[in-house]
Amino acid sequence: MSAITRTGHRYRDTASGKTLDVWFPQGDERIARHCLAETLGLIAGDFVTVTLSSPDAAPASAEDVYLRLHLLSELAFRPNTLNLEGAFGLLNNVAWTSAGPVLPARVQALRAQLQDQAHVLQIPCIDKFPRMTDYVIPEGVRIADADRVRLGAHLSPGTTVMHEGFCNFNAGTLGASMVEGRISAGVVVGDGSDIGGSASIMGTLSGGGREVIRIGERCLLGANAGIGISLGDNCIVEAGCYVTAGSRVTFPDGKVVKALELSGASNLLYRRNSQTGALEVVPRNAAWSGLNAALHKN
């Protein structure tokens, strides 16, 4: 891979010099942003040029992390193909306000300086990662609630993220998919798959370890279901059924295995026996009926 060099507009805290964010416009245009926090002198904007020499090298600065997050959301790289090791330590916790990004400790000063301004301050988020749509607008994608998609999410054309759907950074879809549940960090979802309402997929953060979970093509993860293993193609996990790596799964012939042994296998249906409560797996010979085509013409 040849080196990637982009110029972005950066905001920094004027008191400490800490980087708050960097926006890299697609097309590498030099476009400056302006906000009230900048006008009031709490933050300062400038242009910065960042080079990604290798996707395998760990990021060296907050500016470097922001470039990588943009490249993921622009679909230039798939999740788990850019090294993001140490990203949390390089990013500052930011209060993302309606007057612009500021350090959380500076919010009170911002409020004080807004006294003479006709502005009702809103703070929708305090986090290291901002919402994606303030930086990158993906083509052919519907997002019902932008607060639930972080910068660094990878959403392919045809994807619909419903109001309760969530997609973390370094995760996303590889084709047209329905997202009504949670796609955690590191997780990728194949073309034609549906993540049902309140369904969850174990990621690589908060106890998920380094196991990267993938959902294949034409899969259905039912409402309130969850997985801690990968699914191959044409799989279904019944609504309300959670399959962890250590779950004991029973085959129709009575054989019992750990679910981890089935990770990545295709054409399987996972379900709970309604009488015994046992977790069962049943081979499938046909795909489910699939996504509603009209909903995914984005």
Active site residues: 180
For 225-289, the DSSP string reads -EESS-B-SS-EE-TT-EE-TT-EEE-TTS-EEEGGGGTT-SSEEEEE-TTT--EEEEE-SS---
Q: How far apart are CA 160 and CA 150, in angstroms?
A: 15
DSSP annotation of 59 = P
The CA R_g of the chain, rounded to the nearest whole Å, is 22
The backbone region for 75, taken as left when phi is positive above 0, alpha when psi lies in -120 to 50, beta otherwise, is left
**HSE of 8 in the Cβ direction (CA atoms, 13 Å)?**
27
How far the first Cα of the chain sits from its last, in Å, is 31
| Helix and strand counts by DSSP (H, E) for the chain | 4, 25
Give yes or no for a contact between 229 and 245, defined as CB atoms under 8 angstroms apart.
Answer: yes
Q: From residue 119, how far is each of 94, 113, 173 by CA, in Å?
A: 20, 11, 38
